[in-house]
Amino acid sequence: MKHLLSIEDVSREDIERLLARAESFAEVSGRPIKKVPALRGRTVVNLFYEASTRTSSSFELAAKRLSADVVNIRSAGSSVDKGESLKDTVQTLSAYDPAAIVIRSPHAGAAQLVAGWTPAAVINAGDGKHEHPTQALLDVFTLRRRLGSLDGTRIWIVGDVLHSRVARSNILALQRMGANVTVCGPPTLIPREIEALGCEAAVTLDRLEEADVVYVLRMQKERMHDAFVPSLREYAVRYQINAGRLRPGQLLMHPGPVNRGVELSADAIDSPQALIGEQVKAGVAVRMAVLYELLVGSPVLAAVA
């Protein structure tokens, strides 16, 4: 792999290899000195044009734990919101000869464009409503650690599927790993073409007990230019996942940030069934694995030696 732009380009075999590598990096993250020299002398640029806490901090830690030099650029709210200006920025930063550019942008397709403007490896850290491939990989990693295999696992993705890049990348990755995916939410927040992706669609939580894993999405208010639900209160009444709606044994996931009291209740967030903290933790090891795969690419053991 030269870039990581979309889960569409990643085979099950690639995912298995990345997860094995992430497992060895998780071991590094458990050491008192959480560093390996794999990327010493190489530069990673993190370019974030949209709000981020988990993704930006974990990419930064991942690159630092691999001993890379890291440059973090954030320009949320600045004038860089046109393709041409992004191009200028990327070409300017490419003068530092970075090994990788990690890009988050509010525009679908931005990472693909960046890959055409720089010789660096490009990692999509979320492009508008399109994809968030490292989120999907860390979710698969978290679930595999808990369940062993995902073959035949039933996963319900609940909430604002329409505006969610996490839903798109997760549907692709989870299915590739053998899971059956159902999306659930108000009809206005389920994209029309969703069944073409091979998942079922449900508009009520009536059959939620079928799910082994309930993956809840944030209401993406920043991407809603119309009224998609009558009110957040009404949405919560019908679709909020709370401890009462989860059956024993179901696992609960959310990519964060959570709108507490909207898509998830406090009792669900704090329940032992929630894997939300484990997802965040997995983010560092999985992003180390992705950087390693793209920039070094040799066997797992060399990475941790």
Nearer to ligand ASP, 224 or 300 (CB): 224
Please tell me whether residue 186 binds ligand ASP under the rule CB under 6 A. no
Site string for ligand ASP, 237-276 (x = CB under 6 A): ------------------xx--------------------
Nearer to ligand ASP, 24 or 186 (CB): 186
Judged by CB under 6 A, which of 3, 17, 144, 165 binds ligand ASP? 165
Please tell me whether residue 185 binds ligand ASP under the rule CB under 6 A. no
Q: Which two tokens stand for residue 24?
A: 């060895």
Please tell me whether residue 159 binds ligand ASP under the rule CB under 6 A. no
Nearer to ligand ASP, 21 or 165 (CB): 165
Nearer to ligand ASP, 263 or 293 (CB): 263
Site string for ligand ASP, 72-111 (x = CB under 6 A): ----------------------------------------
Cα–Cα distance measured from residue 127 to residue 60, given in angstroms and rounded to the nearest whole number: 18
Instruction: Name every residue whose Cβ is closer than 8 Å to that of residue 62 and which is 6 or more positions away in sequence.
Output: 283, 284, 285, 287, 288, 290, 291
54-65 and 12-29 are packed helices; what angle lies between their axes, rounded to 10 degrees?
70
Nearer to ligand ASP, 207 or 221 (CB): 221
Given a contact cutoff of 8 angstroms between Cβ atoms, the answer to whether 295 and 23 are in contact is no
Give the CA-trace dihedral at 98, 124, 176, 63, to 10 degrees: 50
What does 217-279 look like in DSSP terms, one character per residue? ----GGG--S--SS-HHHHHHHH-B-TTTSPTT-EEE--S---BTTTB-HHHHTSTTB-HHHH
Site string for ligand ASP, 124-153 (x = CB under 6 A): --x-----x---------------------
What's the closest the beta carbon of residue 122 comes to ligand ASP, in angstroms?
17
Strand partners, 4: 123
**What are the helix (H) ranges across the chain?**
12-29, 54-65, 83-94, 110-115, 133-147, 165-176, 232-239, 266-269, 276-295, 300-304
Nearer to ligand ASP, 42 or 104 (CB): 104
Cα–Cα distance measured from residue 43 to residue 45, given in angstroms and rounded to the nearest whole number: 7
What's the closest the beta carbon of residue 120 comes to ligand ASP, in angstroms?
22
DSSP state of 63: H
Nearer to ligand ASP, 24 or 105 (CB): 105
**Residues 191-220 contacting ligand ASP, CB under 6 A:** 218, 220
Given a contact cutoff of 8 angstroms between Cβ atoms, the answer to whether 176 and 8 are in contact is no
What's the closest the beta carbon of residue 54 comes to ligand ASP, in angstroms?
6
Kindly report the length of the chain. Answer: 305
Q: Which residue is nearest to ligand ASP (CB)?
A: 218
Nearer to ligand ASP, 129 or 144 (CB): 129
Which positions touch ligand ASP (CB under 6 A)? 126, 132, 165-166, 218, 220, 255-256
